[in-house]
Structure 1
Amino acid sequence: MTQNPATDEPNPDVDAEATNEMAPREAVEALIANIESERDDFKDKLLRTLADMENLRRRTEREVADAKAYAVTSFARDMLGSADNLRRALESVPDAARGEGEAALKALIEGVELTERDLLKTLERHGVRRIDPQGEKFDPNLHQAMFEAPDPAVAKGMVSKVVQSGYKIGERVLRPALVGVSAGAPKAPEAPANGASEGK
């Protein structure tokens, strides 16, 4: 409090002025703090919204790319039966008939082979590739084991026979390859125990 110099008593008019000057300053500072808090809140919401929009854009791009890559999945799966039938038709023709058969039979075989190649090329243009795992390591993600058999020529765990080719579309398996898996070389017969041979 300020004092009146003439009377050494407090001067109420001066105190009131000082209080009035302090009140607006505190109010302005409180208002600025409030505005800055709102600004920070809006900035945070804006940054979150921008991040969400970027994530949505990426997800949408990925979904559109997947839709383009895998749109023909159902159709391609239906066409695999035709490809299998063409392959079976070619495999059913004996080798002797291929080399020494009549001209009409040779023409038929060549036509079926040409049709099969054309069908496979068409499927490849649409992202469908054949899986032919002969001699590869068995992979349960790409192959379906039909049997396991000893095979001295093929190491254990490797595909020794392809029963039916598999197909992939993009990075997805459209149909696993049906395969036979090698169990390795057959086990040698065990030698009889010493006691058994002596008793004979």
Structure 2
Amino acid sequence: MTDEKNKPEAETPAEPAETLAEELSEEPAAQGEAQDPAQNSAMSEPDIAAIQAENADLRDRLLRAAAEMENTRKRAEREKQDAARYANAGFARDMLEVSDNLRRALATLKEEERKTADDSVKAMAEGVEMTERQLAAILERHGIKEITPKPGERFDPNHHEAMFEVPGTEHPTGSVVQVLEAGYKIGDRLLRAARVGVAKNEDGAQNGGKVDTTA
């Protein structure tokens, strides 16, 4: 009996390592499957409406940004063109004085005096005329146009400067009677207003009213 008590008990065979690993790996997966909620639930109408509103707002912002960029591009292009067009405005304004002096020189020589003048004076007058015409052509070629109103034309304060008034004329009150000095503009910008005399008749109310000299 002593031998039977002292006999060691039979050992429980150990589980293979692969089987234990499989059990450990399957257990969390099974637990995860049991804990995952349903994923196929449909979106509610308020959520859909909120997304649509956000998309519309983003689209509106995108269109506004594109329009602003286009306006900026056009404005920059217009400023570039204006800078090129009016770059020589100061030089052109100075050249107008040269043109005025040439015309004054020609005006001092009357037509009758020119006919009786000697050849040297005639040649000089012709040279001044040619120079004045050439200068006028150059100015026009560079976009500088002359403003010379005709007698009877309505006074325009945007392009004319009234130097004096002439009473008792055949032209309506407020119309140009005489041009003292031609005006000029470059593109749409005024370089110098034409200096004129305007009519002022006693019956001005019937013939056009008071002269408006304000631009």
TM over 0.5: yes
User: Any unmatched runs of 5+ in structure 2?
Assistant: 1-33, 205-215
Alignment of 1:43-82 (within 5 A): 43-82=59-98
Q: Report SS of the residue matched to 2:42.
A: helix
Alignment of 1:13-162 (within 5 A): 21=38, 24-26=41-43, 30=47, 35-135=51-151, 136-162=153-179
Label 1:33 to 1:107 Cα distance change in 2 as closer, same or farther (>3 A): same
> In structure 2, which of residues 163, 172, 185 is the aligned counterpart of residue 168 of structure 1?
185
User: Deviation at 1:34?
Assistant: 5.3
Identity %: 47
Match of 1:69, as an amino acid? R
> In structure 2, which of residues 188, 195, 206 is the aligned counterpart of residue 178 of structure 1?
195
Distance (Å, rounded) in 2 between the aligned partners of 1:88 and 1:116 = 11
Report how many residues are paired.
168
**Contact 1:152/1:186 (<8 A) preserved:** no
**Contact 1:73/1:174 (<8 A) preserved:** yes
Q: Report SS of the residue matched to 1:25.
A: coil
Segment of structure 1 superposing worse, 148-157 or 47-56 = 148-157
Distance (Å, rounded) in 2 between the aligned partners of 1:40 and 1:82 = 64
Match of 1:104, as an amino acid? S
Label 1:182 to 1:28 Cα distance change in 2 as closer, same or farther (>3 A): closer
User: Any unmatched runs of 5+ in structure 1?
Assistant: 1-16, 188-200
- 1:102-123 deviations in Å (ceiling 9; x for gaps): 1110010000000000001100
User: Deviation at 1:65?
Assistant: 2.4
